[in-house]
Amino acid sequence: MRILYGTTNKGKLQAMRTALQTFDIELIGLKDIESELPSINEDGKTLLENAEIKARVYYEAFHIPVFSCDSGLYFDELEEEEQPGLHVRRINGKELTDDEMREHYAALAAKHGGRITGRYRNAIYFILDEEHHYSSMDMSIATEPFILVTQPHPKRVEGFPLDSLSVDIETGKYYYDLDVKDVSTSVDDGVRKFFSTILSEK
């Protein structure tokens, strides 16, 4: 089965391909589509609404099975009105580059003693066909809690700027210095379960 992942982010596409590599699917991204991409207004009030908006637009445009995701970042130390939430990359109306994101969140960690505890909540919306839509915002597809610090790791991965600031709570090491997991690894089992349930029905 050919499935479109509604993202232009190469890092996110590769991470999803890795998570779903045991499935009999061909996972493509928006950059693999040889036609003009539709514009999308992500004006949902929740992660799941934004994921649904994107999936519906891409399904209407390309008429193949498609899923979209949305993520929000939440910190233990911040009040609700201070949370990045839906707007991880957009600060004061500006879309930040990877470098600007590292700088912004390193400064945020500095305000809280040099470290701040975060977690990504994720939403996924999958359209198999006109009659079959599936969605989840279950905690099984949220990341484990992690620490953001002020000093970035020298490694950089395009599209994942905060990974270089992320430290594993259990070991106290940067995720980039661990062989067995990264920030998103804890999401993989939940993602696989989501797709396994859907595809086993088909």
Average pLDDT of the residues of the chain: 93
**Contact (CB, 8 A) for 155 and 11:** no
Contact 163, 147 (CB under 8 A): no
Measure Cα distances from 63 to 51, 91, 156, 160 in Å.
17, 34, 35, 29
CATH number assigned to the domain comprising residue 91: 3.90.950.10
- 6-15, 47-56, 154-163, 184-193: which range is least confident on average? 184-193
Distance (Å, rounded) from C-alpha 37 to C-alpha 34? 9
Q: What's the average model confidence in pLDDT over 92-100?
A: 93
With b meaning 16 or more CB within 10 Å and e meaning fewer, what string describes 92-114? eeeebebeebbebbbebbeeeee
In the predicted structure, residue 68 carries a pLDDT above the cut 90: yes
Over residues 62-69, mean pLDDT: 97
Q: Using pLDDT thresholds of 50, 70 and 90, give the confidence band for residue 128.
A: very high
DSSP assignment letter at 142: S
The answer to whether residue 180 scores a pLDDT higher than 70 is yes
- If one counts the domains in the chain, the total is 1
β-pairing, 26-29 vs 2-5, is: parallel
Inform me whether the pLDDT recorded for 177 exceeds 70.
yes
* pLDDT interval class at 200 (50, 70, 90): confident
Range of the domain at 131: 2-201
pTM beyond 0.85: the answer is: no
Residue 7 reports pLDDT greater than 90: yes
